[in-house]
Amino acid sequence: MMRGIRRSTTILILLVSVVPAVAQQFNADNWGKGTSGVEMTLHEEPRQRTSKGTILWYNVVGKGFPEGIVYTLWRWIPEKSPEPLIKGVSFDKRGVLVCSGKPGYCSGDRPDDPINIKATAILGEMKRLAVVSEDGKIVAFADAVPFPIEASDKGCKLSVVRMSPLADVVSAHASGLKPNRTLTVTTRYSDEGSTAKSTAGPDGTWQQVVLTQGAKQPSGKALISVSDTVCTLSVTFDYGPGSNKPQ
């Protein structure tokens, strides 16, 4: 575990502050299509509990990135387009994303100042970041779900990620299922529910975008259940107004 990175004054408020946009553009359709040979992860520091929610701290850590390359740090928030956060970032010798202070790079309070990301999060929300080189030839992505909506059973796992702030659109993903097995999928929004058949993929996974839009009750408890007769997975979560409170 990498510790002690977060002692820096270069801080981004992931849910609030945005550095002025740069000329570079990045299409959402290309999100997740990283360059071979490079890896990027979010390193989380200890969480801070407050009366207004849990404060999260992240550093971006990379592997395999060539030296002397300038990048732009991007984020993607549900129902918005990807947007640049800060231009001129680079990776130091440890692989930590920094503002080096060198000509053509961003500057912090000291040379190679680590970029710290401060955020809050709601249940099932995914934090999504990317770095893109100025010529667009090197791209890497990292994500984290600080407070997951998930369930497990007999080696299977079901996860639900918000695709909208009020969870009226979510992405459900199951893994560890029997390959090509018929699945029973149940969804329920408050008192409205339905059951349908689906099929696990050859790799034992299943994924579906689930909509609560159009439900008679605009808010309440949602349920998603997936079963292949061996594993039965079920999660519940709040949707609609009031469901997006920081954890």
Quickly state the pLDDT bin for 173 (edges 50, 70, 90): very high
Q: Which residues are bridge partners to 233 per DSSP?
A: 226
Interval 21-78: pLDDT, tens: 333 457 788 899 999 999 999 999 999 999 989 999 999 999 999 988 999 999 999 8
List the domain boundaries for the chain. 11-144, 149-239
Just give the CATH number of 11-144. 2.60.40
The DSSP-derived string for 32-95 is T-PPTT-EEEEEEPPPEEETTEEEEEEEEEEESPPTT--EEEEE--TTS--EEEEEEEEE-TTS
The DSSP-derived string for 158-175 is EEEEESSTTSSEEEEEEE
Distance of alpha carbon 117 from alpha carbon 130, whole angstroms: 13
Q: Which of 6-20, 84-98, 157-171, 221-235 has the lowest mean pLDDT?
A: 6-20
Interval 195-219: pLDDT, tens: 999 999 999 999 999 987 677 888 9
Interval 97-113: pLDDT, tens: 999 999 999 999 999 99
One-letter amino acid of 87: K
- Do the domains 149-239 and 11-144 match in fold? yes
Distance of CA 76 to the CA centre of its chain: 8
| Region for residue 35 given its phi and psi (left: phi exceeds 0; alpha: psi -120 to 50; beta: otherwise) | beta
Q: How crowded is residue 186: how many other Cβ atoms within 10 Å of its Cβ?
A: 14
Query: Is 149-239 assigned to CATH 3.40.710.10?
Result: no
